[in-house]
Structure 1
Amino acid sequence: MGDDVVTKDAAISRESFAQRLLIGSVKKSYDPVVDMDWDAPLDPGKFFLPPEVVSLYGTPLWDAMTPEQRRELSRQELANVLSVGIWFENLLNRLLLRELMSGDPTSRHAHYTLTEMGDECRHMMMFGKLIDRIDARPYWPRPAGRLVISSLQVFLRGSMVWVGALVGEEIFDALQRRTLDDPELQPLVARAMRIHVTEEARHIGFARDALARRVPELSRSEIAYTRLCVAVAAPLFVYLLTNQHMYRRAGLDDPRAARRVARRNPAAKRALGIGAASLGAFLEKQGLMGSIGKRIWQQQGLL
């Protein structure tokens, strides 16, 4: 009887939270086709990512670059970030679709899941249009990479659906929030970031709520598996952000050396650490950040 009451109360609470998110989506959502001025000219003197977020910022290699080379690197890094965003949101939508197959299609939770998937579809289109508008090329995985990305849905189940969502969303979101009002940033890029941040805030709240509700029901083996996946997520995230091909396209002489410099760059690690701080604290509070994961996240600059 007592357990039934708790379960019923938890379901009501979950539905109430999803309903608030649905109302928020009605009040403030965007369509990038009409809410972005795609014909606005780009400013030749502005960056595509704020300098302090660019992976080589603060290194001797950065100091030796001309202003034009720095802006070009920021353009290539933005194209890479947007490409990773498209891969991730594609994968996330597949995971959410699978969740819907075992859920109640009449629930507010299911309805918000569908709403989030619609948001993510528009984000993928916005990212693709932005890559095209800045005259860049997407960083698309080769067949082996596509196979790896597609296979992740096999391993991301249960609590890991929401951990994966948070790792992919929260760190980028925190970095974007720091740069929205940067006067050196291209206005078109700032507008895209503002749209993404506004809608991702609801997605992050949804994922945190779903994960926090699942944790008390996890077995020891599930917690151990989730902690392992959390640990693996850190080096994968840093690897994707320091794609050596973006240094090659930016015209640097030794792309592999540039990637090594970027991965050791204290300024880049500080930027990542600020972005991941809230997520790291949340995962630790939920008991999903083990000692090995914490050590790896610290080594990668995420804590």
Structure 2
Amino acid sequence: MTGPDHPAAFYDRLLDSARRLSFDLREAEVDAADQDRYGMSPEWSPLFGTPSWTDLTESARKHLTRCEASHFLGVAIWLEVALQIVLLRRVHNVDPTRADVKFLFNECADENLHSLMFAEAIERLGTGHYRLDRSMVLAGWLFRTFAWDEIAYAIVLAGEEVFDVMQRDWMRDDRVADTVRRTSYVHVVEESRHMSFARQKIRDHLVRVSRPRRFVGTIVIAIGAHVIAKGMINKRIYRSVGLDWSTVRAEISRNEHHRMMFRRAASPLVAFLDREKLLNGPARWIYRKSHLL
């Protein structure tokens, strides 16, 4: 029996959504005016409102946000590739006709197209790719090598929830380059399925975990979210546009606007984790250090 609340029925509905609402914008034309637009809504720049931001010309601010948007998209690619490695490894020997496994295959197809789409957007923004810090490279290796079920889904959900809130702003903002607005729209639509899938998988796995495993998992998820949040601030961006990194780092660290925007981005994630009892004292402390709570 498979009623509307049966897990298989839930995954079948996600698959149906994927068949109806999937996109491929890799070949989209570029608006010539894109080169004179912001790379993202300027309010999402970690420097927004700081003395360094105030001192920049309008043209320099646009260029800075194009650099920052390129890096954010690079972090999204890093996250999506790691997700596929972890999840595909876990379904290598299971029944491929299961509804959840079929949706996972569809999700990986989406994620590959997202990565290609983001890579194209980075090239169109004209800033190039910013190399990740070594700490993120190490964190990525640890994640894709050792992350277990609910950990893998929750850490990826953390990144996707933050990007979802950001990109909902970007896709509606006429000041933002069309290539970013279009890719943001596609990502928001398709990631809504992926996030529903991740939340359901987390709930499924939490049903049978012990209290010690839940406690450890709660801390690991918070650490993963912290790495993602901190990894979005890349010193190479600011040095490339001629800003002093030590000054920029100090201004970002005390920029209340930046903290407010990150808390807003993380609010859906925090609400979900709270409902699923994946927030405890140490985890809350980590989220506060990350400006996600």
Secondary structure (helix, strand or coil) at the match of 2:26 reads helix
* Stretch of structure 1 that moved more, 150-159 or 8-17: 8-17
> Are 1:20 and 2:4 an aligned pair?
no
Q: Deviations over 1:150-198 (max 9, x none)?
A: 2322231121011112012111111111232112111221011001111
Q: Deviations over 1:29-80 (max 9, x none)?
A: 011224x22x432434321111100110011221111111111110110111
Secondary structure (helix, strand or coil) at the match of 2:32 reads coil
Equivalences for residues 62-77 of structure 1 within 5 A: 62-77=53-68
Q: Evaluate the alpha carbon distance shift between residue 299 and residue 150 of structure 1 in structure 2; reply closer, same or farther with a 3 A threshold.
A: closer
Q: Evaluate the alpha carbon distance shift between residue 296 and residue 194 of structure 1 in structure 2; reply closer, same or farther with a 3 A threshold.
A: same
Equivalences for residues 184-223 of structure 1 within 5 A: 184-223=175-214
Q: Distance in 2 between matches of 1:145 and 1:216?
A: 31
Q: Evaluate the alpha carbon distance shift between residue 149 and residue 193 of structure 1 in structure 2; reply closer, same or farther with a 3 A threshold.
A: same
TM-score normalized with structure 2 length: 0.94
Match of 1:114 in 2: 105
Determine if contact 2:143/2:152 at 8 Å carries over to the other structure.
no
Secondary structure (helix, strand or coil) at the match of 1:101 reads coil
Equivalences for residues 1-303 of structure 1 within 5 A: 13-34=6-27, 36-37=28-29, 39-141=30-132, 146-252=137-243, 254-303=244-293
Q: Deviations over 1:264-291 (max 9, x none)?
A: 2111111111110011011011111111
Secondary structure (helix, strand or coil) at the match of 2:207 reads helix
Q: Deviations over 1:81-114 (max 9, x none)?
A: 0111111111001011012125321111110000
Aligned Cα root-mean-square deviation (Å)? 2.0
Match of 1:5 in 2: none
Q: Distance in 1 between matches of 2:227 and 2:139?
A: 12
Match of 1:3 in 2: none
Q: Percent identity?
A: 29
Q: Distance in 2 between matches of 1:15 and 1:186?
A: 40
Unaligned runs of 5+ in 2: none
Q: CA deviation at 1:142?
A: 6.7
Secondary structure (helix, strand or coil) at the match of 1:287 reads coil
Q: Distance in 2 between matches of 1:204 and 1:85?
A: 14
Secondary structure (helix, strand or coil) at the match of 1:248 reads helix
Q: Distance in 2 between matches of 1:151 and 1:236?
A: 12
Q: Deviations over 1:238-283 (max 9, x none)?
A: 221111111111221x123212321321111111111100110110
Q: Which amino acid aligns with 1:21?
A: L
Q: Distance in 2 between matches of 1:9 and 1:220?
A: 31
Unaligned runs of 5+ in 1: 1-7
Determine if contact 2:170/2:180 at 8 Å carries over to the other structure.
no
Determine if contact 2:39/2:176 at 8 Å carries over to the other structure.
yes
Q: CA deviation at 1:10?
A: 10
Determine if contact 2:39/2:66 at 8 Å carries over to the other structure.
yes
Q: Distance in 2 between matches of 1:259 and 1:233?
A: 21
Q: Evaluate the alpha carbon distance shift between residue 242 and residue 210 of structure 1 in structure 2; reply closer, same or farther with a 3 A threshold.
A: same
Match of 1:4 in 2: none
Determine if contact 1:123/1:196 at 8 Å carries over to the other structure.
yes
TM-score normalized with structure 1 length: 0.91
